[in-house]
Amino acid sequence: MRIPAILFILFTLNFVVACAGDDSSSNNFNNGNNINNTNNHNNVNNSNNVNNSNNVNNSNNTNNGTELGGTNLQCHDARTEPATYFMSADDSNSQAQPVWFRERILSHDLNRIDLQGLPPREYEFLNYYTFDFPAAPPGQILINTELSQEGAGDEFQLLVGLSSYPISPLGRRPFNFTFSIDTSGSMDGTSLETAREIVRAIAHAMRPGDIISIVDWDFYTHILLSQHEITGTDDAMLESSLDLLTASGATNLYRGLAKAYEVANANYSASYLNRVILISDGNANVGITEAELIGHEADKEQGDGIFLIGIGTSAIYDHQFMDTVTDLGKGAYIYIPDSAEALKMFGSERIYANTEIAALNVKLKVTLPPWFVVSEFHGEEISHVSTDVRPQHLAPNDAMMYHAQLLDCGADGDKSGSEFIFTVTWLSPFSNEPRMVEKSVTLSELLDGPVLNLQKADLVVAYARLLVNADLLTATAQEDARVDLLSRISQYYQDTLDPDMVEIQGVLEEF
């Protein structure tokens, strides 16, 4: 079964991890107050600390994918006993950056100089592209692990995929979707037409009896449609409402979102899938525009099961604002530039991964053998301390992706029996019942296992980092890296016929 691995976040949180010696706050590699920015590539201000504007200064706090002084420094705090890491991949729905980069590069709006220094959100790339993991049994999460060794050396690449169970059109809950559509002046033209296409794509996946409501807003809010039951794929009342959308005036995103939640609460049904879908460029310039306040409006509804899905449509939309709102609202964060992408993200294969919920508050714990450390992590958060890592939600028909580089800091010897333990905890979305699954596997078993998904993940991460020159290569070295990556992608495509490689290859050829 081919499961889309899709996920969202604006800030690049690429971690080079130096291992700490005890489970205290000094071992925090990244938490909610420690967010990476574009100025931290080379700013090192103590023995193991990569500095940024919000970084808590301690001896073992790291926050991006740059090398920290080589193997000796990375191994400085390697442990003689098993080391535990708690990891977050954001949720499985963050996926805006790869689409935005693709569109900007293919349309020649941005070049290498424009992209250089932007934060690479590798996890959004891992979420957007698809990986071939088996599905979990109903109500469960399946732990998939792949590991490769760099030659005969001490570096390893690790991929963990937490796959959920599938649902089908016949087995799904009825939909009750409330659209909050930005019709301010900045949405005029293509952005507003794309908003219409997004609603049409979602409506096309609906069945008679599903419910749609539409709130549009500029400075003021208007309810165009409330608790309308879909009659079919070409619903006349829905089309009439979409025809009424016109762009003008200032932006009051807070009012638009608050009104959408008011409508969603009034029409709430416990047996339905209740969602607010925000479509905007995120340029909130009037009213209460602070992202924290708007995120709270979304976040407080989680107990009632109304999550927020955020969709950007403009080439110049505010990524950080939209991402922050949806991050707090625990919903998907998507960039959709046209009708083709709307059908891709909300067609029969992906609509449930972008709207439904299979597991709440998912958290991965990885226990490594003695002397092994995580030297680089391409997710959102990682720490030795469980409370420093925010749990995330997992959708059905989906997988959470965790990609990391490991370093063996121990002496040479036979380590084939070294044990890796992967533990996943979560809550059932319908009963809030705690769940747990664990997988124990030896180093030799991991190295003897399949690596096809890991090979693809390596390529996707390299692609994400190359586009923004995250490794600070010279112009010549960046071009050499591009040519080498194209060769590797071509070989992988020959071996797998993976269509994602065709898309990535096309972008790199224009880059």
pLDDT of residue 166: 96
For residues 363-372, give the mean pLDDT.
97
- Determine the pLDDT at residue 76: 83
Which range has the worst mean pLDDT, 12-16, 445-449, 459-463? 12-16
Q: Residue 60: which pLDDT band, with cuts at 50, 70 and 90?
A: very low
* Tokens read off for 34: 């420690």
pLDDT of residue 134: 98
Q: What is the pLDDT of residue 232?
A: 84
- Overall average pLDDT of the 284-301 stretch: 62
401: which 2 tokens? 């992706």
In this prediction, residue 354 carries a pLDDT of 94
- Alpha-helical runs (H) found in 244-372: 253-266, 291-299, 319-329, 339-346, 351-355
Q: Does residue 364 carry a pLDDT above 60? A: yes
Residue where the block lists tokens 């301690």 = 58
**Whole-angstrom Cα distance, residue 195 to residue 201?**
10
DSSP 7: -
User: 63, 379 in Cβ contact below 8 A?
Assistant: no
Cα 120-404-76 angle, rounded to 5 deg: 105
pLDDT band (50, 70, 90) for residue 242? very high
Q: Cα torsion at 455, 460, 461, 463 (round to 10°)?
A: 130
Q: Give SS3 for 274.
A: strand
Quote the Cα angle for 216-219-225, to 5°: 20
Distance CA 420, CA 443 (A): 7
Higher per-residue confidence, 27 vs 203: 203
Output the CA–CA distances (angstroms, integers) from residue 212 to 175, 226, 304, in the order listed: 8, 7, 18
Work out whether the CA dihedral 355, 356, 362, 366 comes out positive or negative.
negative
- Please tell me whether residue 333 adopts helix, strand or coil conformation: strand
Cα(237)–Cα(66) distance, rounded to whole angstroms? 54
Q: In this structure, are residues 40 and 14 in contact, taking their beta carbons and an 8 Å threshold?
A: no
Asked if pLDDT for residue 454 goes beyond 90, the answer is yes
pLDDT, position 12: 35
- Of the two residues 446 and 69, the one the predictor is more confident about is 446
| Three-state secondary structure string covering 422-439 | EEEEEECCCCCCEEEEEE
pLDDT band at 34 (very low <50, low <70, confident <90, very high): very low
| Tens of pLDDT, residues 304-331 | 678 889 999 988 777 777 777 777 777 8
The DSSP result for 205-250, as a single string, is T--TT-EEEEEEESSSEEEEEEEEEP-STT-HHHHHHHHT----S-
Round to whole Å and give the CA distance between 186 and 279.
13
What pLDDT does residue 296 have?
Answer: 67
What is the β-pairing status of strands 434-442 and 419-427?
Answer: antiparallel
- Of the candidate ranges 67-81, 102-116, 173-187, 286-300, the one whose mean pLDDT is the lowest: 286-300
What single string gives the DSSP state of each residue in 458-480? HHHHHHHHHHTTTT---HHHHHH
Q: How many CA atoms lie within 13 A of 390 on its CB side?
A: 14
Bridge-based pairing of strands 83-88 and 381-383 is antiparallel
Nearest to residue 75, comparing CAs of 372, 420, 385? Answer: 372
Alpha-carbon span 278 to 414, nearest angstrom: 54
d(CA 495, CA 331): 35
pLDDT (0 to 100) of residue 84: 97
Specify the DSSP element, H or E, that contains 161: strand 155-163
- How far apart CA 123 and CA 392 sit, in angstroms, is 13
The whole-angstrom separation of Cα 379 and Cα 383 is 12
